[in-house]
Amino acid sequence: MNSPEEFLRCPRCGGKTRVRVRLRTVLKDFPLFCPKCRYECVIDYERGKMTTVKTPDRGDPGQI
């Protein structure tokens, strides 16, 4: 049985962030911060899929 909750992963280092989402969680323009590599980006999250909206460091979202 799958856990109904999971931690969002950092698009940069792949580490777990402290943000927990559920299957039906929807995030829009959500600032995601990774405590591991101190990377912050803005993401959308819907139906189990995370999309990087904006990356302050690099301008190339999509490379996950």
CB atoms within 10 A of CB 40: 16
**Residue 19 interacts with Zn ion (CB under 5 A)?**
no
Contact region with Zn ion (CB under 5 A), list: 7-15, 19-27, 48-56: 7-15
SS3 56: coil
**Residue 13 interacts with Zn ion (CB under 5 A)?**
yes
**Residue 23 interacts with Zn ion (CB under 5 A)?**
no
**Residue 10 interacts with Zn ion (CB under 5 A)?**
yes
Nearest to 48 by CA among 22, 16, 12: 22
Q: Which of 8, 19, 21, 34 binds Zn ion (CB under 5 A)?
A: 34
Kindly state the tokens that stand for 1.
Answer: 């049985």
